[in-house]
């Protein structure tokens, strides 16, 4: 059974084989057609719309960001409270990336 993905702007169905965008609006994971995402970015009330999650650069951001955070914690003595807070934020990045992959991309 094929999973249905709907665009958050035009509410049309997204064919998983075509290019689409998975992103977060504030904290909610949303999907858009490529064109609809571009239009949505230009609307003024979409301040919290983030970068696309389903791209190689998003994966790179999560990996490099978490390596940096872990290095910050290990090389600071005693471990910084800021580092631990950043680790939680980095964990949220990993969660969003994995959620996008499991739910929409595989
Ligand atoms: Zn659309």
Q: What is the pLDDT along the chain (106 residues), one digit of tens a residue?
A: 567 899 999 999 998 778 899 999 888 999 999 999 999 888 877 777 888 999 999 999 999 998 988 888 888 777 677 778 888 888 998 999 999 999 988 8
* SS percent in the chain: helix, strand, coil, step 5: 50, 15, 35
Q: Where among 14, 32, 52 does a domain terminate?
A: 52
| CA 6–ligand 1 middle distance (angstroms) | 8
Based on the domain organization, do 71 and 43 belong to the same domain?
no
Q: Distance from first CA to last CA of the chain, Å, rounded?
A: 14
Cα 106 to chain center, whole Å? 15
Give the Å distance between the CA of 36 and the centre of ligand 1: 5
Global pTM reads: 0.79
CB-based contacts of 37, cutoff 8 Å, min separation 6 = 9, 21, 23, 52
Whether 53 and 96 have beta carbons less than 8 Å apart is answered as yes
- Same domain, yes or no, for 91 and 70? yes
Ion ligand 1, residues whose Cβ is below 5 A away: 7, 9-10, 33, 36
């Amino acid at each position: 059974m094929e999973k249905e993905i709907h665009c958050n702007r035009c509410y049309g169905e997204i064919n998983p084989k075509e290019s689409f965008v998975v992103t977060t609006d504030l904290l909610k994971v949303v999907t858009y057609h490529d064109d609809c995402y571009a239009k949505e970015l230009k609307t003024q009330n979409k301040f919290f719309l983030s970068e696309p999650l389903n791209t190689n650069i998003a994966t790179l951001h999560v990996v490099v960001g978490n390596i940096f955070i872990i290095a910050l914690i290990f090389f600071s003595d005693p471990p910084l409270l800021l580092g631990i807070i950043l680790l939680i934020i980095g964990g949220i990045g990993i969660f969003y990336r994995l959620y996008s992959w499991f739910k929409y991309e595989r």
